[in-house]
Structure 1
Amino acid sequence: MYTRLMPRLKIKWIKMKLSTITINFNHKHFPKLCVEALEASKTNFKFEIIFVDNGTRDPISKGFLEQAAKQGRIKLIKTAKNIGFSAGNNLGALNASGEYLLFLNPDTAVYPDALQKMVDYMEKYGGVEKSGVHGGKEAGAINCAEDSGMESSTIIYSEGSGAESSAITYADNSGAKNNKNLRGGRRDNSHEKNAKNRPIGILGPKLIYADGVVQDSCRRFPRLIDLIAKRTILGRLPFLRKRVREYMMGDFDHEKICEPDWITGAAMLIPKKLFKKVGGFDERYFLFMEDVDLCKKVRAAGYKIVYYPQAKINHYHQRLSAGGLHKLLTKKVFWHHVASMIKYFWKWRKG
């Protein structure tokens, strides 16, 4: 009888550190550029690339993503129709395995060290609330130097509308969390005592346009007049031009780390447990304002928003709601913006 004891095997389970989540809706060649840049990332942890194909009809991006999924390069989620930016991102988050979520626009290309720098900074200064105390990490964070690289998976088909399949619930059944602390698009600093001791909830990198200009990606919470002035010729009036500049933080040195009110959703890193805690993106915003709203909820939950320029991402951005007055009024995305503005200011109204 064989009685020799087998040597004890030491098995180290590698936890997924990061999931990147990107929405594609007829973005042609950009998803390929985005995926290739992510694949070139140099990290000491395991991460996965998730794309939500949001009812795309464009054969270029659709074909690339399907092929990339078959090759095991990405995890692809397909919806039967365009369910909106918020619902699409929530669907991606629902299927994410990472400890952190990086929401990333399809027209972006990360620098090779961007993912590592963002995760390292979040690991050092971030944290998910545990037993009512900030600052302590949730158990299970593992540095995966022995088995680094991208994790891939197969195609996932989601034929529902998105709201049912995402199963993201809101903290107060409306999408707002502790909105008594945040009024009318402005901050009430009464809930921000000891803010310096708060952990980071959302981290945003430096975004760089194709021409090398740094994007104004961190801003103050808007008032209605700020957004109207920014989108119309009223913004040419001297006193409104000053307001827009203040809202856009035009006087800020974008080479410095800062704590703005909110950062653009083109690239934002957040712990998955915190994202779930605040209810994810509010799906009442089909397009626009969902990033402002998420930052408000995260701040109300006791976390900081931080702009971190040491991590860099190229953003081949084209303003969807830009153009002359006539052209603007005939754009569907412009009316999405208007609808989202109304929902946002109503949600965060006084009283």
Structure 2
Amino acid sequence: MSLRSLDAAYRAMEGIAGEIVVVDNGSDDGSCEVISAGIEARGWAEGTRVRFAASGRNGGFGAGNNFGMGLGLSDGSKPDYVYILNSDAFPEPGAINALLEHLERTPAAGMAGSYIRGEDDVPHVTAFRFPSMASEFEGAVRTGIVSRLLRRSIVPLPMPETPTAVDWVAGASVLMRQEMLDQIGGFDERFFLYFEETDLCRRAEGAGWQVWYLPQSRVVHVGSVSTGMKGWTRTPGYWFDSRLYYFTKNHGRFYAFMATLARVMGAAIWRVRVAISSKDLGEPPHFLRDLISHGIASVLRRQSDGGPGAGDPLREEGK
């Protein structure tokens, strides 16, 4: 699938001066050899248009992308823009150029994300508001009257039909201005997976940059191939770590606690509705119990360490 993504990216790069870097995050299943052989077979090994680089470790989505961005161009210079593409995403012809043209004519834009659809042609929601205490409650309670009252806090935005400035976009297909990255830095590697692009967009906004969603940049995305999210039988700990770290880093400990409490309250109400109406719970098994357990464990770990430590997602170092 990574090679299929590379094929699509190579075609979408036609007419654009730039280079493609494929980063491997410490795979031990022969991926490095397969991808390297695929690049060789396509005749891309000669020259600098396509490069393969092994990071040597699986530090997560942000760390892998930071590694690739840190390599720069093959002549040692920095690019003007950096385009990030998931290995299960396939840009259509013109998709990258549409993002590039928008950033070129919009000096205040720091990054721009694509319209993304599944292989079944169903659109994926990829334009969002920033998460908040209110959105945590709304998303958990799943009740029409609450959603209407809190409509300005709902994280997923209605799909814009024209280029629109938004809070944040999905990281599966996004073009970023190097000038912005030089100012705010890359991804925060404390996020192993999830919330890292949300945090990056919040830092961009804080520095005065705009984030745009462009429906004319079209990308097909399988989705959840790396994480298996659609088939989760249990929400992994790194999701809870990332969520808690995001709220703590950007809003403080008390807000993070209240956001978790809001989600727990909303989830409890939803469970009452499920019990009465026999609705589908719509979340991985034991999610609420795991959310509460994770929050308690984080507090206890911090107390036993005498303060926030290196492994504590509640650490408040806003970097």
Same fold (TM over 0.5): yes
User: Which of 17, 21, 32 lines up with 1:46 in the alignment?
Assistant: 17
Paired AA for residue 75 in structure 1: R
Paired AA for residue 122 in structure 1: L
- Distance in 2 separating the partners of 1:235 and 1:266: 28
Equivalent residue number for residue 259 of structure 1: 165
8 A contact 1:214–1:254 mirrored in 2: no
- Distance in 2 separating the partners of 1:65 and 1:35: 10
Equivalent residue number for residue 297 of structure 1: 203
The 3-state SS of whatever aligns with 1:265 is: coil
- Distance in 2 separating the partners of 1:114 and 1:316: 17
Paired AA for residue 258 in structure 1: T
Change (3 A) 1:245 1:52: farther
Paired AA for residue 208 in structure 2: G
Listed as ranges, the matches of 1:115-134 within 5 Å are 115-126=96-107
User: Which of 59, 75, 93 lines up with 2:69 in the alignment?
Assistant: 93
- State whether structure 2 residue 176 is matched by structure 1 residue 274: no
Change (3 A) 1:224 1:106: farther
Unaligned runs of 5+ in 2: 74-78, 255-319
Which is further off, 258-267 or 40-49? 40-49
Listed as ranges, the matches of 1:1-351 within 5 Å are 30-41=1-12, 43-59=14-30, 61-70=31-40, 71-72=44-45, 74-97=50-73, 98-126=79-107, 199-224=108-133, 226-227=135-136, 230=139, 234-239=140-145, 247-250=154-157, 252-318=158-224, 320-322=228-230, 327-329=233-235, 334-350=236-252
Change (3 A) 1:123 1:222: same
Which is further off, 298-307 or 75-84? 75-84
Change (3 A) 1:227 1:32: farther
The 3-state SS of whatever aligns with 1:205 is: strand
CA drift of 1:45 comes to 2.5
TM-score (norm 1): 0.62
8 A contact 1:235–1:244 mirrored in 2: no
- Distance in 1 separating the partners of 2:213 and 2:129: 12
Change (3 A) 1:227 1:34: farther
Change (3 A) 1:253 1:345: closer
8 A contact 2:132–2:153 mirrored in 1: no
CA drift of 1:257 comes to 1.5
8 A contact 2:128–2:169 mirrored in 1: yes
Paired AA for residue 64 in structure 1: V
- Distance in 1 separating the partners of 2:151 and 2:12: 36
Percentage identity across aligned positions? 26
Change (3 A) 1:240 1:74: farther
8 A contact 2:147–2:154 mirrored in 1: no
8 A contact 1:41–1:114 mirrored in 2: yes
- Distance in 2 separating the partners of 1:37 and 1:56: 22
Cα deviation per residue 1:55-109 (whole Å; 9 max; x = unaligned)? 11333x4333222454416211113321211111111110122210011111111
CA drift of 1:249 comes to 3.7
The 3-state SS of whatever aligns with 2:54 is: strand
The 3-state SS of whatever aligns with 1:46 is: coil
The 3-state SS of whatever aligns with 2:57 is: coil
Equivalent residue number for residue 144 of structure 1: none
- Distance in 2 separating the partners of 1:249 and 1:201: 21
Cα deviation per residue 1:9-47 (whole Å; 9 max; x = unaligned)? xxxxxxxxxxxxxxxxxxxxx111111111222643312
Q: Which structure has the highest helix share of the two? A: 2
The 3-state SS of whatever aligns with 2:122 is: coil
Paired AA for residue 69 in structure 2: A
The Cα RMSD (Å) is 2.4
Cα deviation per residue 1:262-295 (whole Å; 9 max; x = unaligned)? 1111111111121121011111111111100000
- Distance in 2 separating the partners of 1:276 and 1:215: 30
Cα deviation per residue 1:171-225 (whole Å; 9 max; x = unaligned)? xxxxxxxxxxxxxxxxxxxxxxxxxxxx101111111111111111010000246
The 3-state SS of whatever aligns with 2:251 is: coil
Count how many residue pairs are aligned between Structure 1 and Structure 2: 239
Paired AA for residue 287 in structure 1: L
8 A contact 1:224–1:345 mirrored in 2: no
8 A contact 1:34–1:109 mirrored in 2: yes
